[in-house]
Amino acid sequence: MDVDAFLRELENRRGYRGQMVHTHDVPAREAGFKDLAQPLHPSVAGVLAKQDIRELYTHQADAIEAIRRGENVVVVTGTASGKTLCYNLPVIETLLTEPLAKAIYLYPTKALAQDQLRVLNELKALDPKLPIEAGTYDGDTPGDTRRKLRDEGNVILTNPDMLHSGILPNHSRWASFFAQLRYVVIDEIHSYRGIFGSNVGNVIRRLRRICAHYKAKPQFIAASATIDNPQEHAQVLAGEAFTAVTNDGSPRGPKRFILWNPPFIDEGKVERRSPNFEAQKLMVDLIMQGIQTICFVRARRTAEVLYRYVRDELLEENPRLANTVRAYRGGYLAEERREIEQLLFSGKLLGVTTTNALELGIDIGSLDAAILVGYPGSVASTWQQAGRAGRGDEEALVILIGQNQPIDQYLMQHTQYFFGQAPERAVIEPGNPYILAGHLRCACQELPVGEADCADFGESAAEVMGLLEEDNQAFFQKATWRWKGDAFPARDVSLRNIDDNNYTIQDMTGEKPEIIGQLDEFSAFAQVHTEAIYMHKGDPYFVDRLDTTERIAYVRKGDYDYYTQAIDKTEIRIDGTEIDEPWRVSRACFGPVTVNTTVYMFRKIKFYSRDSIGFGNINVPTLTLETDALWVLPPAFALERVRAYGRIPEDGLLGVANAALGVLPIFVLCDPADVGSAVDSSTLGTPAIFLYDRYPKGLGFAEKAHQRLEEILQAALFLIEECQCEDGCPSCVGSPVPVFDPTDDDVGTRGKIPDKEAALCLLHDLLEREPYVPKPVDPEKLERRLQALRAVAVTPEPADEPEDDAPRPRGKPLPETVEKKLRRRIQALRKRGTPY
């Protein structure tokens, strides 16, 4: 596309008001090619030639050479750089020379596995003599197909969940396959972070252990989008050394990256035009010129509403183009998503509005332009989404539209901030004893666990096995722990910490009911509660009834001029105090808590005008998370000092909590999404800072945070003091927390705004520094921040055997509190055990 011409056209239009606040040019890059020391197998080279591929990019050649040397490899290159060939080519070469060889391909989603199966089938279609017997093995695979793949397949495409619960516990049925396993491919490893990544790390260790049992030692080949620590991440994930290939040799056309800030619509310069309106106009302009465009949004509902707006405008401007745009998101049925993917890949669709469901590596071809409505939340995700735009050596356009929220407006005002940031690190801790407990139960049921196994699983493994023995779940014999009982422990361990209570959406419009989607429980409570408007393919459906017993939402299509938005609230109840001790001038506590989240009200919002036209109550069960938390009670004098300066202590505590949460991963090995923060006074009667594990029964993150509280709060103070912002920003004290107020006649949202000055005042007192004197309150600035808050969307996404006297393997002794918590966790797992 001619980006300059398109931007000039925008600037010369009557409605343009300087929305382009910054332009960043990403230069073109020529292709870098490299020959292999030993040419590819003739059959492989022949298939590539039929695809008009006669040379390998430098990263492809380097990866293949390293794989041929027997090294584990992680390939880290950009979107559409040909990473798939880095593992497909050596795998196929091996299948050609070793007819009994096998490979497992792991993908984080079933959709990605299906997409890559299509790639393998296309290769075999080009040369039917290629010895590829591939298939997806997941929850959707019929029983007969599963048996055929297990007995006859040589390339199994699956996901970590199926490997964990369906393959490893039944490894004896896979004995022949595991004995010949040569390669384990782990794609999209940047998505394996936090609790999910830590769980997958243990699944990989269990896989390696079973392979060793069958005298096999497979090579690992990993692929990743750009992250800050790819080699380290791959090594921690798989527990083996890796060679990193990062010299991207794929060509890249020039890319224009625009920061686009919607204009103010009031004289006081408080409220900005809707970013969805800006995206609608930009997307229509691009599609009208035949420019294939993808538009990323932050919420499923937004994808549907924006699609409706774009489709309706195209119906007026050029009806022929209205059918060339679609919405894409989670919740669609698998066949609907595959259809949209194929339409995009073929070029029959000119536009798609989507959530981050299309951020991962599903092959939809290369598009001309990408629009990002709101900052995606991380540098890595932003570049991943932007990477969808770029077709060969042609120029591509990326537009990031700022929302009227602090994080987006900070980026719009500090235009070099984003482009100077490195992608985030991927953080996991497979050796976390709380995570280990579940996986060692699984490992023990699969094969006896010995000293070498404990060393591989981590320094706490032997102690955890000892606890399992004390709990009568394992017994020690012949220098190994062996499983005791008939439970199936893999069913007790969820890798993703997601809700298994899915709700079905059933359309009752026609004579015969039709299933049109699925949602997890929380999303169902927020999106398909009784009287909600559910958006599907751009059309509104009224929810007649949400049956929480049968988990079905009954909907009917209608001509409605509004949609609904749910409001939820979160409260923390302290269930016990295991640690309560003085910390400087405060009290620092740790113990079990219950985090209660209630979706309790909704508002009706007019299409286009976004006017709030009414409210309604929601009657659904409260969702509870029983977990562990650290809480800090500030002294009364610190709270009073903040009030004396005309500021609100809770707003300062919110800033402290956000800053502490931001630095916590430096001191506690976790992903930011693994821990939550809150300021709550419902149990204590006075506001306190809470840091809690976002995982049932806790995983030790809050406990570690309690042990390193001094370092965390010192780092939080440093973070806020060194930040160059004037009144607080997403980089230090964080973003506002919306709170619903039905007496507000404007839009119904008020909330807590993190206060940088109050946070500094509190931290100086908590850390016993010289008292900090906050700047005087500026009412105009406060009102502007409050107005910005009003635009924030409230809801976004064997029988007993005698023991022997062999000495037990010993690991690092567990702290007393950890051992106590582990005992409770192990007992809870046992109680949930399901007979196999």
Helix (H, G, I), strand (E, B) or coil at 315: helix
Strands 73-76 and 243-245: parallel
- Cα 143 to Cα 147, 246, 335: the distances in Å are 6, 40, 20
In degrees and rounded to multiples of 5, residue 323 shows phi and psi of -85, 5
| Closest alpha carbon to 155 in 186, 127, 183 | 183
- pLDDT band of residue 806 (cuts 50, 70, 90) is low
Q: What is the mean pLDDT of residues 520-539?
A: 92
- 282-295: average pLDDT: 96
Q: DSSP states of 355-398 as a string?
A: -GGGTSS-----BSEEEEES--SSHHHHHHHHTTB--TTS-EEE
Q: Rounded to 5 degrees, what are φ and ψ at 546?
A: -105, 115
Cβ pair 223, 242 in contact under 8 A: no
* Secondary structure (3-state) at 612: strand
Please provide the distance, in angstroms rounded to a whole number, between the alpha carbons at the two ends of the chain. 58
> 748 pLDDT band (50/70/90 cuts)?
very low
β partners of residue 696: none
pLDDT digits (tens, 9 = 90+) for 172-222: 999 999 999 999 999 999 989 888 999 999 999 999 999 999 999 999 999
Residues 24-43 pLDDT 10s: 999 999 999 999 999 999 99
Q: What pLDDT is attached to residue 731? A: 65
Placement of tokens 């036209």 in the chain: 613
Mean pLDDT of the chain: 88
What confidence tens digit (pLDDT) does each residue in 353-408 have?
999 888 876 777 778 999 999 988 778 889 989 988 987 778 999 999 998 765 68
| Residues 567-593 pLDDT 10s | 888 899 999 999 999 999 999 999 999
With bands split at pLDDT 50, 70 and 90, how would you rate the model's confidence at 814?
A: low
Residue 136: the pLDDT is: 95
Task: Quote the tokens at residue 410.
Answer: 């900070």
Q: Which amino acid appears at position 216 of this protein?
A: A
Spatial neighbors of 735 by CB under 8 A, at least 6 apart, are 405, 406, 407, 658, 754, 792
The whole-angstrom separation of Cα 373 and Cα 278 is 9
Q: Which pLDDT score is estimated for 485?
A: 74
Question: What are 684's strand-pairing partners?
Answer: none
Give 500's pLDDT tier (boundaries 50, 70, 90).
low
pLDDT value for 317: 93
CA distance 110 to 589: 42
Q: Please report the pLDDT score of residue 671 as a whole number.
A: 72
pTM equals: 0.81
For residue 159, CA distances in Å to 162, 359, 496, 500 come to 6, 18, 12, 16
Name the helix (H) or strand (E) containing 543.
strand 539-547
The model's pLDDT over 76-101, given as tens digits with 9 standing for 90+, comes to 998 888 999 999 999 999 999 999 99
Residue 834: its pLDDT value, please?
A: 35
pLDDT of residue 266: 74
b/e sequence 283-307, b meaning 16+ C-beta within 10 Å? bbbbbebebbbbbbbbbbbbbbbbb
Instruction: Give residue for tokens 């990403």.
Output: 26
Cα separation, 734 vs 662, whole angstroms:
9
CA 186, CA 106: separation in Å to the nearest integer? 5
**Strand 474-477 with 749-752, pairing:** unpaired
Mean pLDDT, residues 502-511: 93
- 497: confidence class by pLDDT, cuts 50, 70, 90: low
Give the integer Cα–Cα distance in Å for 719 and 711: 12
Lowest mean per-residue pLDDT among 54-68, 297-311, 380-394, 486-500: 486-500
- The reported pLDDT for the residue numbered 51 is 95
CB neighbour list of residue 201: distance below 8 Å, 6 or more residues apart: 192, 236, 237, 238, 239, 428, 430
**Confidence tier at 245 by pLDDT (50, 70, 90):** very high
Per-residue HEC secondary structure of 143-186 comes to HHHHHHHHHHCCEEEECHHHHHHHHHHHHHHHHHHHHCEEEEEE
pLDDT on residue 403: 85
Residue 791's pLDDT is what? 42
Give the span between the Cα atoms of 627 and 582, in whole angstroms: 23
Question: Average pLDDT for residues 50-58, to the nearest whole number?
Answer: 96
How far apart (Å, rounded) are the C-alpha atoms in residues 446 and 8? 65
| Nearest by Cα to 64 from 40, 32, 81, 31 | 40
Give the residue ranges of DSSP H helices in 506-610: 521-527
How high is the pLDDT of residue 832?
Answer: 52
Sequence length of the chain is 836
